[in-house]
């Protein structure tokens, strides 16, 4: 917009605010009745009008947005209440207010691991599971080193090397036997 901004004061300012409030209420109601395809179609003309009338310059953009938003928020609350009322009747209308708590209590009372939370009993002792033993597997680098030492043909060096790798010796023996069985 290239026109100079009008500076409102006094009665003109009050009238401009009143007009904006009324137009916002009308557009909010029309939006509630689905007369606009997009919310922006209802709001953008209000903003443009506030700028053109000098209201934005007089009271500030934040205050203009508050005036515009107030009736839209009211109708959004109405829609939310309508939706809640519609779905609450479709769900269980006779549910008590503490239904979730009652359901959790029922589940925990039927489970002997959780019953103590409601009965005052001592919690059950948790069974101590034996620690899982990780199965050892000879690393490929150790197998490669074994093949190298074996390839040197030095029996003493091979014996000394195997003495340093006692956990790997049974697997390496099977590996050796498997290699010579193929040959």
Degrees, nearest 5: CA angle 77-82-84: 95
**In the chain, where are the structural domains located?**
11-90, 94-124, 140-182
pLDDT in tens, 133-177: 778 788 899 989 988 988 888 889 888 888 888 888 888 888 888
Residues above pLDDT 70, as percent of the chain: 89
User: Highest mean pLDDT: which of 56-65, 71-80, 172-181?
Assistant: 56-65
**Residue listed under structure tokens 């030095």:** 154
Q: Which of these, 54, 52, 49, lies nearest to 7 by C-alpha position?
A: 54
Higher pLDDT, 53 or 84: 53
Q: What is the mean pLDDT of residues 12-23?
A: 89
Give CA separation, 54 vs 2, 18, 86, in Å.
13, 14, 44
- pTM score: 0.45
């Amino acid at each position: 917009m290239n026109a100079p901004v009008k500076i409102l004061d006094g009665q003109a300012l009050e009238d401009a605010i009143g007009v904006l409030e009324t137009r916002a209420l009308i557009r909010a109601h029309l939006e509630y009745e689905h007369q606009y395809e997009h919310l922006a179609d209802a709001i953008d003309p209000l903003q443009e009008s506030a700028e053109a009338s000098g209201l934005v310059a007089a009271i500030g953009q934040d205050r203009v947005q508050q005036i515009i938003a107030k009736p839209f928020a009211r109708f959004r609350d109405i829609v939310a209440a309508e939706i809640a009322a519609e779905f609450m009747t479709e769900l269980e209308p006779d549910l008590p207010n503490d239904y979730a708590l009652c359901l959790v209590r029922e589940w925990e009372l039927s489970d002997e691991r959780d019953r103590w939370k409601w009965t005052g009993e001592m919690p059950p002792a948790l069974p101590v599971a034996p620690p899982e033993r990780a199965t050892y597997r000879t690393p490929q680098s150790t197998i490669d080193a074994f093949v190298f030492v074996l390839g040197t043909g030095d029996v003493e060096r091979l014996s000394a090397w195997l003495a340093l790798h006692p956990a790997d010796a049974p697997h390496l023996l099977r590996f050796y036997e498997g290699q010579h069985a193929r040959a």
